[in-house]
Structure 1
Amino acid sequence: MFKHRSTQRRRVSLAVAGAAGVALAAGVAVSASATSAGVAVSAAAAHSDQARTVKPTIVLVHGAWSDSSSWSGVVKRLQAAGYQVDAPANPLRSLKSDSAYLADYLKTIRGPIILVGHSYGGEVITNAATGNPNVKALVYIAALTPAQGESAATISAEFPGSHLSDNPKAPIPTALNAVPFAQGIGSTGIDLYLKADKYRDVFLSGRFNNATAAQLAATQRPLTAQALVEPSGTPAWKTIPSWYLVASDDRTIPPAAEKFMARRAHAHTVEVNAPHAVALTNPGAVTSLIEKAAAARG
């Protein structure tokens, strides 16, 4: 009898111990799972914080009748602020090929990008950024910001005030020199240079002295006539947040056109009393707008 009770007690003890073991194991499993989930959440939060603190690469795209050196004052300021800055050469051959070239260039950059365009460079960034998830903001500096189907020529025709031509019916704007060149077998293109005696008025609105204006005119890069009339594609500003600097003394793109394009793109807009070459005359204002776009990115 006592032996039977003793056996029962051992069975009950073993059952209790087994249950306790199962409960303990379950507790450990729950605890481990909770810890793992906590670590995962912490890691995700840390990754999110890190993504927000990594500075984006700033890509600066020049327009016609200048080159990448026009960004020198802006590059200096952005680099001093700790940004990686790229100012690739814009080929200025045609809107389609220029945009394709920039789109390929952007694919080589890892991480977030703030894409900046001046003048005709605005058309190029509008097309090149479409579909690139790394481009977090577009910054237009006295730039063309076309809708689909528009060209530089059609935008300019809608707003008076440009000094590029004193005859709106002239096939080539009167402030430009047309230089034919062979671009293939039996094919001829036309390069357009801003005339040296018009450069200070049209591009600089009388800023700088004659010697500096002459130097800039001598080192300008031409735009093809084709690029002026080629229609733009799907605009990236439809889906990417935009910023715009209006140059209120612009004699290349009328300020009224700049304001219209900025409103249409729902861009965060500032206005500066500056000529078309605002990156040369007011690099601090240009840098400030770019930094605002960089700080506001998602």
Structure 2
Amino acid sequence: MGGIVLVHGAWHGAWCWDGVVAELRQRGVAATAVELPLAGLAADVAAARAAIQAAGPASVVVAHSYGGLVVSYAAAGLSTVSRLVYLAAYLTEPDEDVSALMSGKLTESLVFRDGEVSVDPAAAAGLFYGDAAPGTAAELAGRLRPMTIGVAVPPVVTPAWRSIPTTYVVCTNDQAIPAGSQRRMAARAETVVEWPTDHSPFVTRPRVVADLVAGHPT
């Protein structure tokens, strides 16, 4: 197989994939974690697309949460991508209301200031890292950063998941994107897997994530 490209979600950074990257490299699989600028969807799409193109043929692109919106455009029209993996991610149509897919807990925890949106630190640990030890969850929540509010859709008509084989991973204990919302989106995927995890299985289950994306599901 080709390389694996990992695209993080809102407020996070490439750091959130560290455990998965380490697991993949132990298997001899090349992996790149993209650092999104979080400066608007168009800028994030450009950063992800450059990384996907650099990964070469037969690559697998993995998206988490908001990263699903990014990848749906960033991978569009690229014949080098062999599979997309949406990990508790937004697998949506271009005109779909993403906010309607979020949990009430998440929307109530958003903080808007000076054209940016962030998550209340007091709520972030429980929303994103419920399976992690409290100290780890608090540390990760402290690494989150604000992102630009503007999410104008890039000029791409057909999202990548319509033409590229796609796997969706439903995280059934997710407090940020409810399992019901995930299952509705997963119905558009070719393959669906369900895990009894929180929103961020890459934190406590990096080996399971690596096995799946490398083609050896556990």
TM-score, with length taken from structure 1: 0.67
Q: Which has the larger radius of gyration?
A: 1
Query: Pairwise mapping of residues 1-298 of structure 1 onto structure 2 (< 5 A)?
Result: 55-156=1-102, 161-165=103-107, 174-180=108-114, 190-205=115-130, 207-209=132-134, 211-227=135-151, 230-231=152-153, 233=156, 234-264=158-188, 266-292=189-215
Root-mean-square deviation (CA, aligned residues, Å) is: 2.0
Supply the distance in 1 between the matched residues of 2:4 and 2:45 (Cα, whole angstroms): 17
CA displacement at 1:286 relative to structure 2: 1.3
The letter for the 2-side match of 1:286 is: V
Q: Which residue of 2 aligns with 1:15?
A: none
Counterpart residue identity of residue 90, structure 1: L
**Displacement, 1:154?**
4.3
CA separation in 1, counterparts of 2:183 and 2:216? 18
Between 145-154 and 74-83, report the one with greater CA deviation.
145-154
| TM-score normalised by structure 2 residue count | 0.90
Shift of the alpha carbon at 1:178?
A: 2.0
Q: Relative contact order (alpha carbons < 8 A, sep ≥ 6): 1 or 2 greater?
A: 2
Distance 1:87 1:290 in 2: 13
Native 8 Å contact 1:274 1:281 kept in 2: no
What is the rounded CA distance, in whole Å, between the counterparts of 2:123 and 2:190 in structure 1?
31
Q: 1:206 to 1:179 in 2, by over 3 A?
A: farther
Say whether the 8 Å CA contact 1:162–1:254 is kept in structure 2.
no
Cα gap change, 1:92/1:136 in structure 2, threshold over 3 Å: closer, same or farther? same
- Cα offset for 1:260? 0.9
Q: SS where residue 280 of structure 1 aligns?
A: helix
Q: Within 1, Cα distance between the matches of 2:36 and 2:124?
A: 20
The runs of at least 4 consecutive aligned structure 1 residues that moved more than 3 Å come to: 230-233
Amino acid at match of 2:185: M
Q: Kindly tell me: are residues 282 and 162 of structure 1, through their superposed partners in 2, closer, same or farther at Cα, counting changes over 3 Å?
A: farther
The structure with the largest helix share of the pair is 1
Alpha carbons 2:3, 2:58 under 8 Å: kept: yes
Task: State the AA in 2 paired with 1:144.
Answer: Y
User: Percent same amino acid among aligned pairs?
Assistant: 32
Aligned residues: 215
- Match of 1:179, as an amino acid? R
In structure 2, how many angstroms separate the alpha carbons of the residues matched to 1:106 and 1:223? 22
Separation in structure 2 between the aligned mates of residue 100 and residue 151 of structure 1, nearest angstrom: 22
Q: Aligned with 1:292: secondary structure?
A: coil
Please say if residues 112 and 136 of structure 1, whose CA atoms lie closer than 8 Å, have aligned partners that are also in contact: yes
